């Protein structure tokens, strides 16, 4: 019999759910099913939808759909945009955090001007986090803003040596910054981009082996969270003339990280900090009572045929891992068991809530 390990419900603070406007890639039902299959019971949805989650109307309507459809708990990010800064205080009541895109990626959300950045840091409520897509020297911009306004900034999907070292320096000075790293930036590098082509294209792009080594070296101190950046696109879109960046990640994140535990690259306690304790503390997320994930420490192969995500493919197809998610229990209910999602649509809670 394989060893069974019990974990708390895991939290992914970086998921793209594609509602509204991209439901052919993913919707709340398929995205939250993928989360449960991956041992994740709470996800934070990103705002780069069509239209984006940048007005109170769109954010509120999307939260209503999430409430009807979600199989696990869901919070939504509001997206900062130069045209909508007056809405920021109203957006906050429906969002768990604000996302600012400083660099190019999928979708039109972008902030490139100082007045918008000042408006965000001055008017977004202090008790809610500001998260940033910042690459290379944009990380320094985010650190500068954290210092200037004396408020926490969370850096999404840090992928390069220079970035993680800059954040380590900022933390050493006591600045209120945190960061996440994705499994694809830990388990793949630019050579996989050559092997897999466009199926291994995402923002930030895969790093050099030296970047990957730096992320692993900082996993026990500077890195705060593992986040999936689950960014589903259909195979047809990826193989089109204008392929969008992004790969799925909800169903592979935990089993990949547990494989690293089996290889003594990190401890199980550290995995729990990175995928549960720290995300909850940093984003002020509620506890999920009577919630746990049971995994078997047994060899398995990642297969895209069994994926719950609507996109139906993963760059990790065929990869051997050392763990399998067996059962997920959310608020006392078995919501996933042996490959089957058992939760009812609408049983997930939408944050912020009173809980």
Give me the residues that bind Zn ion (CB under 5 A), please: 229
Residue 18 class from Cβ within 10 Å (0-12 exposed, 13-18 middle, 19+ buried)? buried
Helix (H) or strand (E) holding 230: none
320-321 and 300-301 beta bridge pairing: antiparallel
Give the binding range for ligand NCD (CB under 6 A) out of 36-44, 134-142, 171-179, 238-246: 238-246
- Work out which of 29, 99, 128, 133 binds ligand NCD, going by CB under 6 A: 133
Residue 48 as a binder of ligand NCD (CB under 6 A): the answer is yes
Q: How far is the CB of 347 from Zn ion (least distance, A)?
A: 26
User: Nearer to Zn ion by C-beta: 99 or 193?
Assistant: 99
Identify any residues that bridge with 301 across adjacent strands, giving them in sequence order: 320
Separation between Cα atoms, residue 12 and residue 181, nearest integer Å: 11
User: Nearer to ligand NCD by C-beta: 69 or 135?
Assistant: 135
Residue 41 as a binder of ligand NCD (CB under 6 A): the answer is no
User: Nearer to ligand NCD by C-beta: 244 or 315?
Assistant: 244
Helix axes 161-172, 138-149, angle to 10 degrees: 20
73-79 and 40-45 beta bridge pairing: parallel
Residues 6+ apart with CB under 8 A from 290: 329, 331, 332
Whether residue 62 contacts residue 49, with contact meaning beta carbons closer than 8 Å, is answered with yes
> Tokens 């793209």 correspond to what residue?
16
Residue 45 as a binder of ligand NCD (CB under 6 A): the answer is no
Name the 3-class secondary structure at 128: coil
Q: How far is the CB of 103 from ligand NCD (least distance, A)?
A: 8
Residue 245 as a binder of ligand NCD (CB under 6 A): the answer is yes
Residue 21 as a binder of ligand NCD (CB under 6 A): the answer is no
Q: How far is the CB of 146 from ligand NCD (least distance, A)?
A: 20
Binding mask 150-179 for ligand NCD (x = CB under 6 A): ------------------------------
Residue 84 as a binder of ligand NCD (CB under 6 A): the answer is no
153-155 and 129-133 beta bridge pairing: parallel
Which option in ligand NCD, Zn ion, none does residue 203 bind, with CB closer than 5 to 8 A by kind? Answer: ligand NCD
Whether residue 60 contacts residue 93, with contact meaning beta carbons closer than 8 Å, is answered with no
Residues binding ligand NCD (CB under 6 A): 16, 48, 105-106, 133, 202-203, 229, 231, 244-246
């Amino acid at each position: 019999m394989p060893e069974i390990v019990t974990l708390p419900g895991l939290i992914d603070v970086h998921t793209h759910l594609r509602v509204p406007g991209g439901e052919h890639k993913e919707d709340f039902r398929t995205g939250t099913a993928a989360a449960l299959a991956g041992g994740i019971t709470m996800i934070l949805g990103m705002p780069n939808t069509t239209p984006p989650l940048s007005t109170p109307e769109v954010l509120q309507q999307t939260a209503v759909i999430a409430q009807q459809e979600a199989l696990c708990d869901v919070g939504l990010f509001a997206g900062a945009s130069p045209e909508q800064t007056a809405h920021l205080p109203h957006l906050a009541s429906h969002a768990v955090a604000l996302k600012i895109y400083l660099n190019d990626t999928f979708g039109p959300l972008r902030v490139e001007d100082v007045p918008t950045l000042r408006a965000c840091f001055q008017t977004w409520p202090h008790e809610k986090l500001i998260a940033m897509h910042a690459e290379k020297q944009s990380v320094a911009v985010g650190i500068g803003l954290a210092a200037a306004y004396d408020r926490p900034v969370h850096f999404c999907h840090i992928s390069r040596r220079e970035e993680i070292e800059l954040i380590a320096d900022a933390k050493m000075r006591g600045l209120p910054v945190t960061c996440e790293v994705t499994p694809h930036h830990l388990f793949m590098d630019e050579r996989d981009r050559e092997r897999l082509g466009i199926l291994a294209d995402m923002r930030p792009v895969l790093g050099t082996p030296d970047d990957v080594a730096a992320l692993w070296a900082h996993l026990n101190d500077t890195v705060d969270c593992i986040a999936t950046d689950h960014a589903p696109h259909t195979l047809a879109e990826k193989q089109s003339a204008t392929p969008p960046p992004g790969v799925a990640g909800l169903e592979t994140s935990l089993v990949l990280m547990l494989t690293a535990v089996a290889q003594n690259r990190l401890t199980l306690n550290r995995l729990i900090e990175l995928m549960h304790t720290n995300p909850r503390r940093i984003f002020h997320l509620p506890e999920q009572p009577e919630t746990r994930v049971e995994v078997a420490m047994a060899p398995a192969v990642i297969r895209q045929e069994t994926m719950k995500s609507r996109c139906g493919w993963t760059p990790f197809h065929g990869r051997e891992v050392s763990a399998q998610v067996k059962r997920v229990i959310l608020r006392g209910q078995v919501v996933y068991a042996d490959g089957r999602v058992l939760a009812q649509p609408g049983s997930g809670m939408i944050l912020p809530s009173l809980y």
